Amino acid sequence: MVPSDAPMELRFECPTCGQHLSATPAQVGVTAQCPNCNAAVTVPIQSTLCPKLPTSPQPQEPAQNTQAALITQRKARKSLSAIFVTGVVAIIVIGVAAIGVWLAYNSSKPKLLAKIQVTPKILRITNGNDTAWDGPSIILNDGFAGPILVVGGLWNPNETRELPLRDFKGRFNHQPFKPEYEEVREVSIDAHGFQLGIYTTR
């Protein structure tokens, strides 16, 4: 007798252990040992188990279809890369154009003239222009994100104002400037109608 995974025509069980066995019609009536439990088993005249269904092989994808799919994927990746690069280039171009427009607009304004003096606790600024500054913003150290103080009203020509450094607040965290720990390296003055004035204090 042969195990059930070999080619067969008759299928039956070992009456002792239930092992599935198989034999050819020529072995009908032959008694042999069960390969699992060594009990004596006689090959029956007909199968007592359902025939084993043949397993159909899984259809393989044609090589041409696989290659076409890979080519399509590569093209899709290239298209996405091209779109990304185009988007980045467009953002850079727009940014450069915006900066150019701002510089052209800013350069058409009169220069802001100021005299700056820094003491341990006070920032002293004098308007050096012939016209008043209207509500200027004073920014310390970083014109974009540094501590800021907005001075309301008109600041007349040759007028000097003393601004306590502790009145300056962080633009994003709103924390007060601490003159005992921080140094004023640069002062930016943004007044309506004037170019941005930037002054180094050291």
Tokens describing residue 167: 């009145």
For the domain made up of 114-200, give the CATH fold: Immunoglobulin-like (2.60.40)
Whether 117 contacts 187, CB under 8 Å: no
Task: Identify which of 188, 200, 182 has the alpha carbon closest to the alpha carbon of residue 145.
Answer: 188
Asked if the model's pLDDT at residue 47 lies above 60, the reply is yes
CA dihedral (126, 128, 134, 139) positive or negative: negative
119-165, pLDDT tens digit by residue? 999 999 999 999 999 999 999 998 778 999 999 899 999 999 999 99
The pLDDT confidence band at residue 4, using thresholds 50, 70 and 90, is very low
5-45, pLDDT tens digit by residue? 444 568 888 888 888 888 888 888 888 888 888 888 888 88
pTM of this structure: 0.49
Give residue limits of the domains in the chain.
2-42, 66-108, 114-200
Whether 123 contacts 148, CB under 8 Å: no
